[in-house]
Structure 1
């Protein structure tokens, strides 16, 4: 305590200067500060995990390697964002992340809408004969049902807080709403290239459109992230469950640009229709 009492006056001017700088900083400086600190704090953690997971950056990330890396990255985001908020005197509620009953209700609504939209799209593909349903794999769903849901909720919560919350809100201060939505959605899409470039490149337009619809979901939820969080989680949950359990097999009756390049719905016309249809439902019914 004696040493702290000596050091505190030495650090106080620097802290005050930093607080003043962040309060007067431009939107781009605040955004860059967050992403630089986020990645900078994660890299040492990623390095340690890479050793234990035997992961090499120049090789594709395997699913069993990606999940620990992804979770460690995402768990750091709220802490870094809290620090940036403290410096700029803001809170998570400024970004639409409010913990209350209304948010939980919106979360459930978005979750149901996300799953329903994919059920409709895949039902249409099954009816057209573009894919087939593997009934024998239904038994594989139960063991993975809850774990995938929890991961989906975590991933969606962090991504919505960062991109539709922090990034969109900050950009909105200096740019028109439509431009803030376009830029934040583009950054959201491009950052997915960090994990898998070959499979992600065809998904970039779909990911950008997904970001735009999620901004729309926040707009129609009175600025809160509940619907966007649930919608995002519902999509991740449904797609990850289908892929992990092998519930769908494509028949190759149409081009994979229709059903989804590399079996990724967002890289095909069907996925784009799903996103556009969901956006239309939000626009007309929420």
Structure 2
């Protein structure tokens, strides 16, 4: 992967700055756009052969819709590969992971635990409110399905949340912030974060795009609140994914259809409804007060 990154940077950098004298051993002054493009291109090129192997293993055929159980074998290699590609990028640009907000110390993991708790509590509060208002019904008989899925989904949520925060609120926000204001970088990185979700499901993702962008902005605020660390954002992200995935997998909460699905979430996706947006705004308000 480092070789791919080297070749790409060597060939593309002159197109952006023909007069720049930048060596591959020292790319601190490379344009942020080049660094970002090199990372994402290397990530995609590295993942494609792994995805092909996974697709064969799960017997998926091109242009056929992916079933929920088929997504995980394709996602896991993508997310496991990302830190390796980012390590190669950071080595070429001489940027440490601590500059991207990850230091691996006790403070990071204590913020992770705090964010995880806040994320789960936020989802619990929003769905409890909807149940109380009669917008959703709680399926008590499905509680027995929760215990066996708690740990596996938590591990997946921590992986997904950790990798996405390292990339979008860590690497991407930091790189874009080098050539623009931090709020411009926040808006742009959150927009990229939202749009990239279209890769998997277009019809279900389009209604979620405003919510996904707002989610990205709240997670940027979480990094500011945590003094540049991605620990709190990682915890929030993982907490939201964990709570929603558990509710969805066990089918613990179902809409009663007494209000529009745009209130509870179109296609049962909280970010595509008013309730999910309210959850994000409340979380953002708490972070802003702390900030």
- Contact in 1 for aligned 2:225/2:290 (Cα 8 Å): no
**Within 2, Cα distance between the matches of 1:178 and 1:57?**
39
CA drift at 1:18: 2.2
**Within 1, Cα distance between the matches of 2:184 and 2:23?**
32
Work out the number of aligned pairs and report it.
272
**Within 2, Cα distance between the matches of 1:54 and 1:202?**
30
Q: 1:270 aligns with which of 264, 275, 289?
A: 275
**Within 2, Cα distance between the matches of 1:54 and 1:190?**
27
Corresponding residue of 2:24: 18
CA drift at 1:60: 1.9
SS in 2 for 1:19: coil
CA drift at 1:98: 1.2
**Within 1, Cα distance between the matches of 2:272 and 2:62?**
24
**Within 2, Cα distance between the matches of 1:227 and 1:17?**
36
SS in 1 for 2:254: strand
**Within 1, Cα distance between the matches of 2:62 and 2:228?**
38
CA drift at 1:285: 3.4
Is 1:215 the counterpart of 2:220 in the alignment? yes
Corresponding residue of 1:184: 189
Q: Where has structure 1 moved over 6 Å in runs of 4 or more?
A: none
Corresponding residue of 1:131: 136
Q: Give the alignment's TM-score, normalised by structure 1.
A: 0.93
**Within 2, Cα distance between the matches of 1:57 and 1:135?**
39
Corresponding residue of 2:6: none
SS in 1 for 2:25: helix
**Within 2, Cα distance between the matches of 1:92 and 1:57?**
36
Q: Give the alignment's TM-score, normalised by structure 2.
A: 0.91
CA drift at 1:92: 0.8
SS in 2 for 1:99: coil
CA RMSD of aligned residues (A): 1.4
**Within 1, Cα distance between the matches of 2:103 and 2:131?**
39
**Within 2, Cα distance between the matches of 1:51 and 1:147?**
24
Q: 1:227 aligns with which of 217, 232, 251?
A: 232
Higher helix share: 1
SS in 2 for 1:54: coil
Query: Over residues 178-206 of structure 1, what are the superposed CA-to-partner deviations in whole Å (9 max), with x where a residue is unaligned?
Result: 11000000000000011111100100000
Mapping of residues 82-231 of structure 1, within 5 Å = 82-231=87-236
SS in 2 for 1:24: coil
**Within 2, Cα distance between the matches of 1:189 and 1:54?**
29
